[in-house]
Structure 1
Amino acid sequence: MADFDLIVIGSGPGGYVAAIRASQLGQKVAIVERENLGGICLNWGCIPTKALLKSGEKFESLSHLKDYGLSAEKIGFDFDAIIQRSRGVADTMNKGVAFLMKKHKIEVIEGSAKLERGATAPKVVVALKAGGNRTVEARAVMLAVGARARALPQIGLEADGDRIWAYREALAPKTLPKSFVVIGSGAIGLEFASFYRALGAEVTVVEAVDRIMPVEDEEVSKTAQKAFEKRGIKFRVGARVTRVSKSVSGVKVDVEISGKAEALEAEVCISAVGITANTDGIGLEALGVELDRGHIRTDSHCQTNVKGLYAIGDCAGAPWLAHKASHEGIHAAEHIAGFRTPNVHSPIAGCTYTQPQVASVGVTEQGAKADKREVKIGRFPFRVNGKAVAAGETDGFVKVIFDAKTGALIGAHMIGHEVTEMIQGFVTAITMEATEEDIHGIVYPHPTMSEAMHEASLDAYQRVLHL
């Protein structure tokens, strides 16, 4: 007889949410965690980075007090206090997850897990933190083991905690360097670039392709680069990193741009070149678990090819986002408990918490063109939105993409102040298969920045009112 109905390996935003949902459905659940409850997101990712970014945003905004008729003297910051606040936020969230585990009677097993063959699902052998091993069995096992920062040792790009940082080192440094080279212009790279620039550091971002934020709509990427450059961040796009070398005083990043060599120097290099799934060393090979470019291959219910074994979140492939992991975890938990929901493929928004923020969902304009889809596109700038003007937050715009034949909203892209809080309106619309007629009929409160969402939708059909 199995010890549990479900064993979840990994307690990040996918794993702990899956465990809670399974418990709500009457399942007996255990969760295995080798380090910190809440995983990377709560402890070394999403949450502490947002705490840092808020401190940076608050400090940077003080330089614009005059624009609001205000003044202040002797404005400064305590870098150690900023870092400690961020770590305190992470600690609070970690304790919150521990409380939720107790509340839902989920057994937490502290240690590193490895899979072995079992009768109805793989056995889980845990090397306990306290010492010794414990073998547990369940009707189903869910892998929520996440991912780690990718290293490129062949060119010297490997975090050492000194001159080359990955996200962990960038979150809790002991001192504030004066200059950085950030390799990679995705969300992680640009968020750290935004934070450290806000505190006055010199920052250069290196991107291999010909534009920053390559997964975003091209129009948003170009606008974002101009906005970041206005804040003093420098960029090298279309730049292939050939070597990263360290010295006592700093780091040198050799790049090649259009066939020409260039050397970038700084005190610290932040590596943000992607992630590697934590699929090694947990027994997948012995079980014959199928992988796809290092990630676990799953079906529309998060099932692997091995009976009783599920995989969710970063270890199961893109998009590598916490909310995608949570969504998959809930779906998989319900499937294990006997629910037969259609599939797990819902629209997933992407958010980047820079200044200005970027948020998007669905297809891009270039993606629609590549698929030869006939579309209608609408735009509306925040510079003519009343709330944005009143708040002094006029950078950016809203862009929407509709299918010309059906009127369905298929994509939305935003850049501007707090657009990460607004994108869910479009996520809901796409999920509910809303058309332009549905969105045009929505009454948006005034004055709000969200009115730009309505106006952009009107603009796609030549009905824009305030432009």
Structure 2
Amino acid sequence: MKEISCKLLVIGAGPGGYVAAIRAGQLGIDTVIVDDQKPGGTCLNVGCIPSKALIHAAEEFDKVVRASRAKSPLGISLSDPALDLAQTIAWKDGIVGRLNSGVSGLLKKAKVKIVEGRARFRDGKTVEVATEIGLQVIRAETVIIATGSAPVELPALPFGGPVISSTEALALTKVPERLVVVGGGYIGLELGMAFARFGSTVTVVEAEQKVLPLYDSELTRPVVKRLSELGVEVLTGATARGLSAKGDALLVETADGAEKKIAADKILVTVGRKPVTEGWGREEIELDMAGRFIRIDEQCRTSMRGIYAIGDVTGEPMLAHRAMAQGEMVAEIVAGHKRSWDKRAIPAICFTDPEILSVGLSPDEAKKAGREVKIGLFPFQANGRAMTKLAEDGFVRVVARADNHLVLGIQAVGEGVSELSAAFGLALEMGARLEDIAGTIHAHPTQGEAFQEAALRALGHALHI
């Protein structure tokens, strides 16, 4: 095959990679992008997008099931709701397919050349790609590594048979009667709660002393309450030891050292994700590492001149929107623009029931950093819009410096709070003070009013509580 030369080569077409390629193309840079999967990466194909589709379907099904079992305060009643999970999955796949096509179209519009295959470095400027029609060699002045991450596999529970990762969970066409989730982080609880609403008997096994261990107990309390309402059994301080001899149960060591056998049709392992740092020829080039991640500076430059790295392969937080922002920045740097990575905060969202949103520092983190803080918390029980949506569980919380009222962090838990992430992130990025938030007119009736009220409360004069 004829050798390709380009100014910029992007390895990986996930959120970071395809955004970098699109932006580079817009800036007139001769760009090639390589991936052996459909464009969009884990997030679009087997992560963020399909999981949110499944979660939405579970929410809708749960509503009709509840309406069929008890008298609804809204006056809605029905009988015998049923779920065709295969149809749900087909609908989800349709959304993914539309977005795949959309990304491909945007790449072509930006005049980016797409090469399908697995890339491998020969040296710092040369990559070979194993395609369906042979080996393609690409020489580039600059390379962006955007290889992403993959699910962590437990030695005692290798993937296969009844043991599945989130990828397989999102492709199930039948609701498992008994589902055990190993790992009580955001991925495990998002999918575990979705399948509980579909009708599975769900057990969560978490090695730490609480689920969602990266969040404080005040934020996770409404989620723990909902887990109980859904009938989800939660075992904390417990360790998964492996499958039973028949492969129909998970063997667990509980917090008190006892052994427990949990019957399961499927065992979903969600103990984290690992950066994909192997399989693309890292050994052929010399990159400094930061633990298991590729070391980068504030411009996403690696230790090798002309090679950048973005997204999950570069460290926490492993979030698609972080990768996208890095990809856009690096494309502009390659085009000669002056850019650097200087983000005050990156929103993190758990699409559990209810949702959890966090931007910036929590109260504990701020105090550990030696800050004296003011904290304002406003409950959705006092918010008119939340009442009309039967969504009173949760709150908005604002953390600010005590001396000058600069906002350090904002958190929320409740139905639909993910949609407040833009407002929260903007407040931190622009250096808002409590007075700025309190003085901004928030539309009524909306859940966003709780943001203003939390700031007012931190200032000592909340209006509606």
* Bin of the TM-score, shorter chain as denominator length: over 0.9
Match of 1:133 in 2: 135
How far residue 344 of structure 1 moved from its aligned partner, in angstroms, is: 4.3
How does 1:39-78 map onto structure 2 within 5 Å?
39-65=41-67, 66-78=72-84
Distance 2:463 2:248 in 1: 54
Letter in 2 for 1:163: P
Distance 1:337 1:401 in 2: 39
Percent identity over paired residues: 37
How far residue 31 of structure 1 moved from its aligned partner, in angstroms, is: 0.3
Letter in 1 for 2:77: S
How does 1:29-428 map onto structure 2 within 5 Å?
29-65=31-67, 66-118=72-124, 122-128=125-131, 130-153=132-155, 156-160=156-160, 162-241=161-240, 243-246=241-244, 248=246, 250-428=248-426
How far residue 127 of structure 1 moved from its aligned partner, in angstroms, is: 1.1
Letter in 2 for 1:72: L
Distance 2:43 2:355 in 1: 19
1:29-84, CA deviations, whole angstroms, 9 ceiling, x for partnerless residues? Answer: 11001111111111111111111111100010113441211122332111111111
How far residue 300 of structure 1 moved from its aligned partner, in angstroms, is: 0.5
Contact 1:290 1:304 in 2 (8 A): yes
Distance 1:189 1:311 in 2: 28
Match of 1:448 in 2: 446
Letter in 2 for 1:172: A
Secondary structure of the corresponding residue to residue 3 of structure 1: strand
Distance 1:277 1:453 in 2: 35
Contact 2:37 2:116 in 1 (8 A): yes
How far residue 174 of structure 1 moved from its aligned partner, in angstroms, is: 3.4
How far residue 317 of structure 1 moved from its aligned partner, in angstroms, is: 0.8
Distance 2:260 2:246 in 1: 21
Contact 1:303 1:311 in 2 (8 A): yes
Distance 1:92 1:452 in 2: 36
Distance 1:438 1:105 in 2: 43
How far residue 249 of structure 1 moved from its aligned partner, in angstroms, is: 6.1
Distance 1:263 1:249, change over 3 A: closer
Contact 2:235 2:254 in 1 (8 A): no
Distance 2:194 2:108 in 1: 36
Aligned pair partner of 2:428 in 430, 434, 441: 430
Contact 1:382 1:395 in 2 (8 A): yes
Letter in 1 for 2:272: G
Distance 2:274 2:20 in 1: 22
1:140-184, CA deviations, whole angstroms, 9 ceiling, x for partnerless residues? Answer: 10011101100121xx22211x21010111011132211111111
Letter in 2 for 1:412: I
Contact 1:115 1:283 in 2 (8 A): yes
How far residue 255 of structure 1 moved from its aligned partner, in angstroms, is: 2.3
Secondary structure of the corresponding residue to residue 399 of structure 1: strand
Contact 1:217 1:413 in 2 (8 A): no
Distance 1:443 1:63 in 2: 39
Letter in 1 for 2:116: E
How far residue 246 of structure 1 moved from its aligned partner, in angstroms, is: 4.6
Contact 1:396 1:416 in 2 (8 A): yes
Secondary structure of the corresponding residue to residue 137 of structure 1: strand
Secondary structure of the corresponding residue to residue 15 of structure 2: coil
How far residue 395 of structure 1 moved from its aligned partner, in angstroms, is: 1.1
User: Unpaired runs of 5+ in structure 2?
Assistant: none
TM-score (normalizing by structure 1): 0.95
Match of 2:19 in 1: 17
How far residue 253 of structure 1 moved from its aligned partner, in angstroms, is: 3.0
Letter in 2 for 1:21: R
Distance 1:351 1:53, change over 3 A: same
Distance 1:177 1:385 in 2: 38
Distance 2:20 2:136 in 1: 22
How far residue 396 of structure 1 moved from its aligned partner, in angstroms, is: 0.9
How far residue 326 of structure 1 moved from its aligned partner, in angstroms, is: 0.3
Contact 1:197 1:233 in 2 (8 A): yes
Distance 2:77 2:43 in 1: 37
How far residue 227 of structure 1 moved from its aligned partner, in angstroms, is: 2.4
Distance 1:39 1:442 in 2: 38
Letter in 1 for 2:281: G
TM-score (normalizing by structure 2): 0.95
How far residue 232 of structure 1 moved from its aligned partner, in angstroms, is: 1.8
